[in-house]
Structure 1
Amino acid sequence: MQESQVKDKIVSWENELKLLQKSQLEETIDSWLETAFSYIPEELKHNFFQQLDTWLFHLQGIIQESTFQNEAEQRIINTAQIFEPSITSIEQIQTLNLEQKSFIANQQMAKQKLYALVQGGMTGIGKYSTLAMDIPAFTLLNIRTTQLIAMSFGYTSKSPMEMVRLLQVYYAATLPKRFQYERWEQLKQELKLERDPYFYPLSEREHPETWIHHPLTHLLKLIFIITVTRKKERLPIVGIVTGASLNHYWTKQVSTFAHHYFSVRHLAENEY
């Protein structure tokens, strides 16, 4: 895929985000959330989002240092060597062109979407063990998705700066789509800064509760699965299809956002 084609694809995607309109249901949910959060003391909200930031930072570090992540890193390097045999580290992948990086990233995206299908399908069976682990497992899977796509473009989250960038991307990618365009524009502007990006944690944002839509949709999914699997069928098809399709959809959203972000970063860093 030529750079001009990539640019056209990103512009088309940006326009879709920009033109998204709230549905009546979404407006109702936003109103309910705003009302609910207005009853929670500010200090309690601040502490909650601060703990969430800390947990996600630690989770990102644990994934980065894990054995399966090191194995994935080596597989990405091996794929990159198809294009340039002298590559021996993730950082050297930055020397590849955008088409080659996109090829590597697309491989990782396909695997992660498959894992999301399997994980969502297991949740859809309706067992309490898989239901309880759904949100942590899905969070882990999608933080790892952003890391794998970043590595496909030659960046690792081993440095504090890259950890900040990756968590910024993850937060933006897991916002409801109607809120993503504004955050996307901010991320693009930050790429132009000649300094390290400043991390705006959830606890310091103007409306951090907008991000809560993401885990809430998962809870609604789990409630629906519990409801449809009460009949004790041998194979709860509706629950499995619901869990698999929704988790696949959300992982596709995260991976697409991350792929576009690192494509734009490549273009920004390779302007002449």
Structure 2
Amino acid sequence: MTWTERDQKVKEELAEWENKLLSYQPNDFELTYEKYIEKAFSLLPEDIQTQFFSLLDAWLFHLHALIQGTQFQMDAKDRVLSAGRVFDPQIEGITDFRNLEIDQLNYIVQQQISRHRFYSFAQGGLAGTGGTLLLSSDLPAMAVINLRAVQLIAMSYGFEVNTPFEMMTSLKVFHIATLPARLQIEGWEELKSELYNAHDYLFEGNEKLTDVSWIEQPIKQLLKAMAIIAFRKKYLQGIPLVSMAIGAGSNYSLTRKVTDFAKKYYQWRYLLNKSDQF
């Protein structure tokens, strides 16, 4: 298959986005913050660090598999297929989406993105009320929302996430999307390299996900929780609007970051699958 004019336009947009990643320059605060975190973790014994990140990787992997097997996700997959059949009644499975035009796929994906950004916004608002249960469940809830969003974006571009390669790839997309901006280009290049060297089914790349560089995101979540606790008693007409705004805004920002990155990656996969012009 050859690219259409719109495919070429999307390819140019991806190249521009990639150049922005490549040219990103961290400020002094970011570099100092990174060194502080690395120094703090270096105080822990190496075996403790290894065990901690191994457990974190295992938790993400099992959470990803759990989400994939839920009826809620299966129903969402059926809705994606139904949306695809609006454009092509002959669609029978996820891989058939690769026969649709890029703008048709973007429309389907944007529906998923909008829905999950709303979920994050609502979850953040609820956590922002400062309730112990809601606040403590915010981190796992955000992991579920964003992992689920990546899975559905992948499926919307025609990539089923039930094979070892696609499962690990979608996890890596989530992981890299949540990295600081200064580190994303390295992760992006790793994703591309692993795909070029991939087999059809098995994943043979680096299966390690989290490390010290990723820990900034959980720290941001912790700082958000502290801010919510600090402002939860600041009521406006009986509602803790300030803390709710902090929670909703922070969660929305994270999901926007994750869904934007996932969309770019699977657009690139779609174009690569359609033609070898990359």
Separation in structure 1 between the aligned mates of residue 88 and residue 36 of structure 2, nearest angstrom:
54
The one-letter amino acid paired with 1:264 is W
Pick one of 17, 37, 42 that aligns with 1:33: 37
CA contact (8 A) 2:97 2:156 kept: yes
Residue 19 (structure 2) aligns with: 15
* Identical-residue share of aligned pairs (%): 36
1:82 counterpart SS class = helix
1:95 CA drift (Å): 2.1
Residue 216 (structure 2) aligns with: 213
1:183 CA drift (Å): 0.9
1:192 aligns to 2:188 (yes or no): no
1:125 aligns to 2:126 (yes or no): no
CA contact (8 A) 2:158 2:270 kept: no
1:45-60 → structure 2 map (5 Å cutoff) = 45-60=49-64
Residue 113 (structure 2) aligns with: 109
1:89 aligns to 2:93 (yes or no): yes
**Which region of structure 1 is more displaced relative to structure 2, 109-118 or 97-106?**
97-106
1:111-260 → structure 2 map (5 Å cutoff) = 111-195=115-199, 196-202=202-208, 208-231=211-234, 234-260=238-264
CA contact (8 A) 2:198 2:204 kept: no
**Which region of structure 1 is more displaced relative to structure 2, 125-134 or 3-12?**
3-12
Residue ranges of structure 2 left out of the alignment (5+ in a row) = none
CA RMSD of aligned residues (A): 1.7
Residue 73 (structure 1) aligns with: 77
CA contact (8 A) 1:164 1:199 kept: no
With the length of structure 1 as denominator, give the TM-score of the two structures.
Answer: 0.94
**Which region of structure 1 is more displaced relative to structure 2, 24-33 or 194-203?**
194-203
Residue ranges of structure 1 left out of the alignment (5+ in a row) = none
Separation in structure 2 between the aligned mates of residue 62 and residue 240 of structure 1, nearest angstrom:
29
CA contact (8 A) 2:161 2:170 kept: yes
With the length of structure 2 as denominator, give the TM-score of the two structures.
Answer: 0.92
Separation in structure 1 between the aligned mates of residue 38 and residue 9 of structure 2, nearest angstrom:
41
The one-letter amino acid paired with 1:200 is N
CA contact (8 A) 1:123 1:243 kept: yes
1:15 CA drift (Å): 2.1
Separation in structure 2 between the aligned mates of residue 235 and residue 21 of structure 1, nearest angstrom:
40
2:127 counterpart SS class = helix
